[in-house]
Amino acid sequence: MKMRVWGFCENAYPEAWHPDLKSLRNNLPSRNMDPVKAADILHRHLDEWAMLDELGMDICINEHHSTATCLNASCTLPLSILARETKKARLMSLGIHIANRPDPIRVAEEVALIDVYSRGRFEMGFVKASPYEVFPANAQPVGQQRRFLEAYDLICKALTSHDGPFSWEGEFFHYRDVNVWPRPYQQPLPPSWFVSMSPNGGGWIADRNAGVGTFLSGRSSKLLFDSYRRRSIEVGRPVGPEKLAYLAIVAVADTEEKAKRRAWEILGYVRTSPIVAKQFVNPPGYVSVEDNARALRTSIIPGYVPTYATMMLNDGTRIPQATATVDQLIDAMAVFAGTPDQVFEQLKAYNNYVGGCGNLLMMGQGGNLNHADTVDNYRLFAKYVLPRLQDLEVTIAHDAMPLASAK
């Protein structure tokens, strides 16, 4: 099995992470950011991404809004810069918030344009987005999944229709003249990716023949991948590991100790990402009425940590993600850190556990990890780990996927 590796980072603004802040998202005034420093940060990350192209890696970019944890308010803008600056890397948006964008045809135009700029290296990932994103987007949270799917269907039809305008009168979107120029470079259209954080979330993604990505899910990513593989077999399109993607924190160094220090810096992301004022965490309709009622019940239990904010260790116990140590998160398969040999062994173990995952979204920078350490991290990974992922033997495959297809 070949494992593609995509470099990823959030373009954080750690200077604004004051320890006494209650919310790093939505209501943190932008006065807390110096645009000159922001320019340095954004250019630094563009440089690091451009370097990945030379190292034989691919590039994955996400977006968040109104936050000190991620300055990328659009993933398509930096990807369009990189479409020109890079030569070989595949470029993935993971993803565009299509349920929160009022104009899916504008999204179709942007992705087609990046695909043409890059001469066919674009992969279009779409996400429902974190719950707090509906506030800056002013997007109706109720019925968001239906709007997401309608936007996706419309984008796909817009990218694959080449015989003149069509009209669209949907539940959420209305157009009289859909006729996207330029049409995408890849035919019939660039590969699609969705994200799920739910152990049973693979079905609707397999139904649409899109790849499935998941972030820092550790062992529960296996359950998601199982549900995806099962459904892909049911609908007669059995898939291999190339349709699965896992985002994890990866830190390589010449010593284990140094690598773990790097991982700890990158984990600044995990420690700050959940710092959001409570009213933004669970907008109405984001979870089911039943789940919301259960969440109300547990909201008055002191120190209660919901399952989604915990990770399962090898021994089956669960720990809160936000306060976990590097060693615990390595055990939980959310972090791969150590010498190149150690990281390779950790990745091999992860692949055996989940039955083969063909795409590693490598969070090689996060928090306060500086440029020199980031470059060293990626270079060591590309030189000593990446070559060994080109023909990785997966010894344990889930019964839903024949072992042969994992090779």
Partner 1 sequence: MQPSIELMSVAGIQTEVRRWGEGPPLLYLHPGDGLAKENEFLAALARHYQVIAPSHPGFGNSLRPDDFKTMEDLAYFYLDFMAQENLVGVTMAGSSFGGWVALEIAIRSSARLAQIILIDTVGVRFSERDKADITDVYMLSDAEIIENSYFDVARGKFDIANATDEELLIVSRNRVALCQYAWSPYMHNPRMKRWLHRVDVPTLVLWGAQDRIVSVEYGQRVAAAISDANFKMIEEAGHYPHIEKPKETVDAILAFSKNAGKEKVSRSLDFGTLKTALA
Residue ranges in contact with partner 1 by CB under 8 A: 27, 135, 138, 140-143, 146, 171, 277-279, 283-285, 289-290, 292-293, 296-297, 299-300
Give just the sign of the alpha carbon dihedral 382, 387, 390, 394. Answer: negative
Asked if 354 and 348 count as a contact pair (C-beta separation under 8 A), the reply is no
User: In the structure encoding, which two tokens stand for residue 222, read together?
Assistant: 């296996």
Task: Pick between residue 36 and residue 289 the one whose CB is nearest to partner 1.
Answer: 289
Task: Name which of 119 and 146 has its Cβ closer to partner 1.
Answer: 146
Chain-centroid distance of CA 285 in Å reads 23
| Shortest distance, position 299 Cβ to partner 1, whole Å | 7
- Asked whether the beta carbons of 358 and 348 are under 8 A apart, the reply is no
Nearer to partner 1 (CB atom), residue 143 or residue 387: 143
Question: In angstroms, rounded to a whole number, what is the distance separating the alpha carbons of residues 304 and 165?
Answer: 54
Return the number of the residue (134 or 189) whose C-beta is nearest partner 1. Answer: 134
Q: Do residues 175 and 161 make contact, with C-beta atoms less than 8 angstroms apart?
A: no
Q: Are 366 and 12 a contacting pair, CB within 8 Å? A: yes
- For residue 20, which phi and psi values (nearest 5 degrees)? -90, 5
**Least Cβ distance, residue 300 to partner 1 (angstroms):** 5
Distance separating alpha carbons of residues 30 and 229, to the nearest angstrom: 43
Distance from chain centroid for Cα 77: 17
Can you list the alpha helix ranges (DSSP code H) found in 216-338? Answer: 220-234, 256-266, 268-272, 289-298, 326-331
CB of 139 to partner 1, least distance (A): 9
Instruction: Let me know: does 101 contact 151? Beta carbons within 8 Å.
Output: yes
Q: What are the two backbone dihedrals, phi and then psi, of residue 215, each rounded to the nearest 5 degrees?
A: -115, 120
Please state the closest distance from residue 144 (CB atom) to partner 1, in A: 11
Name which of 73 and 293 has its Cβ closer to partner 1: 293
Q: Which is nearer to partner 1, 169 or 171 (CB)?
A: 171
Q: How far is the CB of 291 from partner 1 (least distance, A)?
A: 8
Smaller CB separation from partner 1, 151 or 333: 151
Considering the complex, what minimum distance in angstroms separates the CB of residue 173 from partner 1?
A: 15
Q: Are 398 and 9 in contact (CB under 8 A)?
A: no
Distance in Å, CB of 276 to partner 1, minimum: 12
